[in-house]
Structure 1
Amino acid sequence: MSGRGWFEPSRPVRVEGGIRVRSRRGSIGERWWSRRFVDVLERVCDPGRLSRGRSYARSGQVLELEVGPGLVTARVQGSRRAPYRVEIGVEAYGEEEWRGLAGALAAQALYRAKLLAGEMPPEIEGVFEERGLPLFPGEGDLEMDCSCPDRGFPCKHLSAVLYVLAEAFDDDPFLVLAWRGMGRDTLLAALREEGGAAGGVSRPGPLDVADVPFAERMADFYQPGVSPARLRDRADGTDAPPDLLLRLLDPPPIKARHIPLLDLLRPAYRALAERETADGDD
């Protein structure tokens, strides 16, 4: 049988409602963590198939994407009628390993604060490396499989899913950690618990105001019992994060482009707060 019979034609079946990456040209991935992932792919994978995979990702050939502990599953529409099944596996760390990681992250107040605010500090990669647990997969760490007949590594369907995954990491950095075995809610709960146990979450205590009988305060009753300087210091140390309301309320069960609405609102709230601060400085 000729080699042509084993491979699909280059023109895929067009689909509606697929997952399209936002990047229309150039590189895919905007944040440092998604770029680290893409850099790994482009270093170890066939450039030609990655290029065709980018075209698939931009035209919406990836129909669905699911990220779970140690496994990404997807369906990709190629040139045949039935979509191909794609699986991308990576080592998911166990409970004991994550307990150590959560403790190490919680011990650093800055890392903990950024993660609780929905951000991924660049230093987090070093925390993983110090414990011998890489955050991002290296060469040979990914187990990839596609139901298509192309035996290239990776095929264009796998490449498309890898790029869609990278942009999903852009939108939600916690997907990187969920792929390694720890979901967002579980990790944040562990950080709060570990931080509280370590005394890392500091809250101001009650004001020390003397309780003096009213009869003895007739002359200075309307004077503050605490100096304005102390009140100002307390106010400066207890600024509420701009997305505090989003943390307190139950998230609505709504998604846009397969992304929870809460993950889209959180950076918007932070951007509004930064703009307000900038306007105040002017």
Structure 2
Amino acid sequence: MPMYGKARPVEGGLKAKSGGRGSIGEQWWSRRFIDVLESFADRSRLTRGRTYARKGQVMQLRIDAYEVTALVQGSDPEPYEVSIGIDPIQDTVWESIEQALASQAVFRARLLAGEMPPEIEDVFAIFGVSLFPRASTDMHLMCSCPDWGDPCKHTAAVLYLLAEAFDDDPFLILAWHGRTKDDLLAGLRRLEPAEVDPLTIDETPLAERMEDFWAPAVVRDRPPAPPVPPGLLLRLLDPPKVKVRRKNLADVLKPAYEALPSLDQPE
């Protein structure tokens, strides 16, 4: 592995909030992003990337649709340019995702309240889209430094700070996927159940409608709502501060909840 000089100090760089040792990322969505990153990346480069993130070597960080760009100061006089891209989601797929989210009151309510429900991953998966990268091949990592690591320490530093940005605002994850918070919430409000046609009353005199008075009502077909994951309740509620043999109660109950749907199926 090539050796490089010591990184040049940066005035006013972006520093990770977790200034000391320990994990970066507090919310479930940022930890999910970090867990995926640490599952495939080189450990030594990740360690140096965390150090860069905590020292403030990242000078700029910008999140746009399908691309994150940053400047990271290394040992060279000029900062390195970092770009982290993801594949775009087609507009038709986004429309289907928004309709699915709007069709479930729990999703709509939590998103409109500014929260990111864990079940949103399942909704994206229904339409063949992964909310978080599953492997290095799901991201297009580029850095102007001479290190061919995937990711290099400069890109790793940006990824860690990106996770902290997601911590502060989970809607940045969706903005990275091409939908800003305002766009998504406007779409959800537009698709609220208020669109359901109200019951109309025919003012035709009863005497003229006796022949079809007892005819069955016509019910319009509506698209089915996406399936609700078995562990929905466990993930919606705050986990109780109870542990069973050093395991969280929600983790202990999860297999039982996942087995419930199969109990309804005939053998």
Query: What is the TM-score with the length of structure 1 in the denominator?
Result: 0.67
Match of 1:191? 188
Match of 1:145? 142
Match of 2:82? 86
Give, as a single letter, the amino acid of the residue that structure 2 aligns with 1:19.
L
3-state SS in 1 of match to 2:11: coil
Offset from partner CA, 1:230-263 (integer Å, 9 cap, x none) = xxxxxxxxxxxxxxxxxxxxxxxxxxxxxxxxxx
Choose from 8, 29, 32 the match for 1:13: 8
Residue 174 (structure 2) pairs with residue 177 (structure 1): yes
Residue 120 (structure 2) pairs with residue 124 (structure 1): yes
Choose from 17, 32, 36 the match for 1:22: 17
Q: Measure, in 2, the Cα distance between the counterparts of 1:14 and 1:113.
A: 45
Give, as a single letter, the amino acid of the residue that structure 2 aligns with 1:18.
G
Q: Which runs of 5+ in 1 are unaligned?
A: 200-282
3-state SS in 1 of match to 2:7: coil
3-state SS in 2 of match to 1:27: coil
Superposed structure 1 runs of 4+ greater than 6 Å apart: none
Match of 2:253? none
Q: Measure, in 2, the Cα distance between the counterparts of 1:123 and 1:173.
A: 14
Residue 42 (structure 2) pairs with residue 46 (structure 1): yes
Q: Tell me by how many angstroms 1:197 deviates.
A: 4.6
Give, as a single letter, the amino acid of the residue that structure 1 aligns with 2:24.
I
Q: Which runs of 5+ in 2 are unaligned?
A: 197-267
Q: Tell me by how many angstroms 1:196 deviates.
A: 4.3
Contact conserved, 2:141 with 2:155, CA < 8 A, in 1? Answer: yes
Match of 2:162? 165
Query: What is the TM-score with the length of structure 2 in the denominator?
Result: 0.71
Q: Measure, in 2, the Cα distance between the counterparts of 1:73 and 1:8.
A: 23
Q: Measure, in 2, the Cα distance between the counterparts of 1:157 and 1:34.
A: 19
Give, as a single letter, the amino acid of the residue that structure 1 aligns with 2:169.
D
Number of residue-to-residue matches in the alignment: 195
Q: Relative to 1, partners in 2 of residues 1:129 and 1:198: Cα closer, same or farther, differing over 3 Å?
A: farther
Give, as a single letter, the amino acid of the residue that structure 1 aligns with 2:13.
G
Q: Tell me by how many angstroms 1:147 deviates.
A: 0.1
Q: Tell me by how many angstroms 1:84 deviates.
A: 0.3
Q: Measure, in 1, the Cα distance between the counterparts of 2:103 and 2:170.
A: 20
Q: Measure, in 2, the Cα distance between the counterparts of 1:197 and 1:12.
A: 57
Give, as a single letter, the amino acid of the residue that structure 2 aligns with 1:185.
D
Match of 1:216? none
Give, as a single letter, the amino acid of the residue that structure 1 aligns with 2:33.
F
Match of 2:60? 64
Q: Tell me by how many angstroms 1:8 deviates.
A: 2.5
Q: Tell me by how many angstroms 1:193 deviates.
A: 0.4
3-state SS in 2 of match to 1:14: coil
